[in-house]
Structures are given as C-alpha cells and as structure tokens.
Amino acid sequence: MGSPGRAERGGWRGGWRGGWTLLLWVAAVGLAVADGRRVRPPRCPAGCTCTKDNALCENVRSVPHTFPSDVVSLLFTANSFDLIDEDAFLGLPHLEYLFIENNQIAAISPYAFRGLKALIHLSLAYNNLETLPRDVFKGMEALTKVDLRGNNLICDCKLKWLVEWMHHTNATLDEIYCNGPPIHQGKKLNDLLPHSFDCITTEFASYQSLKFESISVEAFTFATDRYVVFAQPFAGTCSFLEWDHVEMNFRTYDTIQSTSTVVCKPMVIDNHLFVIVAQLFGGSHIYKRDSSANKFIKIQDIDILRIRKPNDIETFMIHGESFFVIADSSKAGSTTVYKWNGNGFYFHQSLHPWYRDTDVEYLEISNKPHLILSSSSQRPVVYQWNRGLKEFDRRTDIPDMEDVFSVKHFRVKGELFICLTRFIGDSKVMHWDGAMFKEVQTFPSRGSMVFQPVSIGGWHYAVLGSDYSLTQVYQWDTNRSRFVPSQELNIQAPRGFAVLFIDNRVFLLASSFKGKSQIYEHLMIDLSV
C-alpha cells in the first residue's frame, strides 16, 4: 500500500483527538459518579424525624443545618433553644410550612428566615418573644399566614414596623395582645395603627465648646443672618459669633469692649442693629452697628443715677413702638423703661425704685402687654400696660413666692405658663388660669440661677441650671400637662440659654459663669428605626 494522503492523515489526527476527548469525558463522568457515591444526600438530623417532605424536631438545642433540601414542612416543638440565628434555614428552597411552637425562643436574628421565598405559613406561637427585629419577614413574598400568639410582645416603637407591615402585606395574623408598654397594655396589636406610636425622641448633644466664661447669651437676626452674643464679665466684652456655613461651626464675628459686662442685648429697629451693654461699673451704654465702617459705635450713655447695678434687660414692642427695660438690683437704683423716639432711647417710666430687682420679663396676658419683675426683697410683681396713659400700672403680685430670682414664660397650645427660678428652695412652674397664676409643678433647685423654658417646634423644654450639680433638662409631657425628666447637661454654673435655628439645624447655646460656655445641637431620634 502507498503512504496515506494528506486528507487521510488529517482525518486520522482529527479522529485521534476526538477519541482522546471522549476518553477524558468518560473519565470525568466516572469520577463524578464515584464522587457522587461519596457525597450522600443530607440525612435527617439527630433529634428529628423525617419523611420524604416533612421533618419534626424535638429536644434539640439549636436549629440543625442538615435537612434534605426537598423538605416542604418543618416543625420544631418542645425544644430547648432560645435563639434563631441568621440563615438558620438556608438551603431549603422548597420549604412552605415552618412551625416553631412551644419552644423558648426569646430572640431572632434579622436574617433568620433569609432565603425562604416559598414559605407560605410561619408560626412562632407560644415562645418568649417580646419583640421582632425590623424587616425579619423581608423577601418572604409568598407568606399568607403568620402566627405570633402566646408571646409577650411589647408593642413599643421597636415593633412599629410590624404594624406598618401588617397594613401592607397580604398575610394574615391571628389576634395578638400587647404585654406592654402601659399605653398599649392589653390592646390588640392588630388594632394599632402606625400613628398609635410616638417614636420620635430628642436630645441635646454636645456640639462645640467655647473657650470663655460668660454670664448671659442672646441669639438674634440681623440683615437675614443669624448671630449669637455672649456677655463676658471677666474679659469685659460682648463677644459676637456667626455661623460658618463651610466649617459648620461658630466663629468670632466682632466684639464690643466694655467693663464688668453683665448683659449684651441686641435690638433691631428699622433694619438698624443696636446693642444695649449693661455694666456693673462705669455706667451702661448703647452701641449701633455702622454698616459702612463694619463696626460697633457707641451712640449713647444710660443715666447712671437711675441704673446703678443692672441685672437684666428686656426688649419689646407695643403698638409699633420700641422699648427696652432694665432691671436694677441696687438699693439706690430704679428699674426703668426706655423708649426709642427715632433718634435715641430716652427715659419713659420708672418702675418701683429701691426694690433690688433681679429680672424683668415681658409677656402678653389676655393679649395685653405685661411685665413681671422679680426681686430679692419682695414677691414677683405683675405690671399691665395702660393704653390711655401709655405706661405700666401695677396689677398684682404672685403670692407665696419669695426670693424668686427670675421669671420666664412659655406657651403650650395657647396656654400661658411661667417658670420661676429660686436659688434656695423649689423652683416652680405656674399656669395662668384667666385670673391668676396657679402652681403646676415644683422642682428641687438648690443653687439654681436659671430655670429657662425653651420651645423648639412642637417640643417644649425647661432647663434647670445649678451651681452645685448637673443641669437638668425636662421635657413637656402633653398627656400629663407637666414636665418630665429628659437628660442632664454637664455645664458649670449656667446663667442663661438661647436657641438658634440655622441651616435646618437647631442649637442650644449655654453661658457658663465658671467654665467654658457650651453649644449643644438639638437632635431628633426615631426609636422605630
């Protein structure tokens, strides 16, 4: 025979290669078969009884992970485990019925049921569950029935998500009764609505510490910008701060040099900024912001014969006219009202002299302007504006309230309340009943020189400072119509607080007489998340 042709040689080579590939494939199949003999399907776990589609487990200490993958129904009953860990049923894509009943389950991982997309019926009945993790049923779109009976569910904010889920799912739940909190005790969880839960709480979080002591603080708006001014008695300055929108903190804006400063009171009239600077020595003065020179210029002195020892300043408007009043705490001075006449501030009225007034508060009672003066020598005195005489007349005093250092007012749903600060004894909250102020609540307040109400949106607080202990923050409970403890602030010898709204944030500014003044941010926290 002759030698094979090219085509024949090529065919042989191709056949050889094909045969070799076939041998490799046969070998691979053989190995796979052999390997398949070694890896057997999962057996029924110890403590469980299994049939083709079902499994029953009793007296096991944890959820086994070796069930056959074709299990359709799975029952755990009378077992000793108290936790269902994450991915506890992974690898059971056909599972439709899962009963975990009469066990001791107290906690469930948020991802305990991950992967159970075919599950139709889930029972966690008669366990020790007080709550369920948020979105524990996420991804289980086939669910038509969930049984949570026989647990001690606490229907608080941590379970609000379940109520929301119940109103958006196609699954049904048997009637479940709440085991708490008191507001929902004994109610059916099925009857609750998302708005049945009050889950927004608040707190004042430390934001910025300032490197100076101060005795008062004021927040104000000028030319659409927001500012803060602290009175520093030891440094002898009014320190103005502005908000840095880039660095997101408060920075120095300007200062007014003075002596033994006790109050720096801003007042905006016809787009002009005035600052009344009250001093213990050297008289008190009024400054005006010169926009062209970009600085404060002193424009007026305050009569030193009337104002000898200023302690507080209040600004207000009555029928379109601008006033301020200075409370004088000396034996020889007089609390005095001044009025703006277009060119300056001039004496308008002297209120009871020689009573050593410590604080003055402007407020409206029954839509009429009033002043309340606090004094170290008598009970707080209430003055009412006489429209005909255009001055204040003494109306009454507040009985059984001696040694009140200051009075500050606030309103809740139109109702008028006042906070009265006492250094020794109890500070008080009182309510105007249409004829007089009546006591609502008392607070132990040894060493307190400020008890200041603060309103932020729909939240109302009272901040009780102390020279001897932590500052107490109380929050108004609308249901009980009284303040309840909220938190403590660590600030030394606080003397005043102010609220500033800026860049969709809210800050509480605190002056400290014996330490660093502080800035806190008001935060809202959703307890249901």
Domain spanning 201-526: which CATH class is it, in words?
mainly beta
pLDDT at 425: 86
For residue 291, give every residue at least 6 positions away whose Cβ sits within 8 Å of its Cβ, in sequence order, or none.
none
The position carrying tokens 């004829």 is 435
Per-residue pLDDT tens listing for the chain (529 residues): 343 333 333 332 333 233 322 232 233 334 334 444 455 666 899 999 999 899 999 989 999 988 988 999 999 998 989 999 999 999 999 999 999 999 999 999 999 999 999 999 999 999 999 999 999 999 999 999 999 999 999 999 999 999 999 989 999 998 999 999 999 999 999 999 998 898 999 999 999 999 999 999 999 999 999 999 999 999 999 999 999 999 999 999 999 999 899 999 999 999 999 999 999 988 999 999 998 999 999 999 998 888 999 999 999 999 999 999 999 999 888 999 999 999 999 999 999 776 789 999 999 999 999 999 998 788 999 999 999 999 999 999 998 898 899 999 999 999 999 999 999 889 999 999 999 999 999 999 989 999 999 999 999 999 999 999 999 999 999 889 999 999 999 999 999 999 999 999 999 999 999 999 999 999 999 998 8
Q: Report the alpha-carbon distance of residue 148 to residue 138 in Å, rounded.
A: 17
Q: Where are the alpha helices (DSSP H) in 359-509?
A: none
The two three-digit tokens of residue 296, written as one number: 């404060």
Residue among 51, 99, 48, 45 nearest 71 (CA): 51
How far is it, in rounded angstroms, from Cα 103 to Cα 77?
6
Q: Residue 246 is which amino acid?
A: V
- pTM of the full structure: 0.80
Q: Which CATH number describes the domain made up of 44-198?
A: 3.80.10.10
Do residues 310 and 330 make contact, with C-beta atoms less than 8 angstroms apart? no
Full DSSP string of 267-299 = EEETTEEEEEEEESSS--EEEEEETTTTEEEEE
Contact present, 145 and 125 (Cβ < 8 Å) = no
Rg (CA), the chain: 38
Q: What's the confidence (pLDDT) of residue 450? A: 96
Q: Is 64 exposed, middle or buried (0-12, 13-18, 19+ CB in 10 A)?
A: middle
Instruction: State residue 138's pLDDT score.
Output: 93
Residue with tokens 């109702």: 415
Nearest to 456 by CA among 508, 511, 492: 508
Q: Six-digit token pair at 96?
A: 């439709």
Q: Are 322 and 267 in contact (CB under 8 A)?
A: yes
Q: Residue 522: CB partners within 8 Å, gap ≥ 6?
A: 202, 203, 204, 456, 499, 505, 506, 507, 508
In this structure, the strands spanning 172-173 and 200-209 are unpaired
Domain-wise residue ranges, the chain: 44-198, 201-526
3-state secondary structure string across 166-177: HCCCCCEECCCE
C-alpha 292 chain-centroid distance: 42
DSSP 181: -
DSSP string across 428-469: EEEEE-SSSEEEEEEEE-TT-S-EEEEEETTEEEEEE--SSS
Residue 72 confidence (pLDDT): 97
Tokens of 339: 């009025």
The contacts of residue 55 (CB under 8 Å, 6+ apart) are 44, 48, 49, 67, 68, 71, 73, 74, 75
Do the Cβ atoms of 226 and 243 come closer than 8 Å? yes
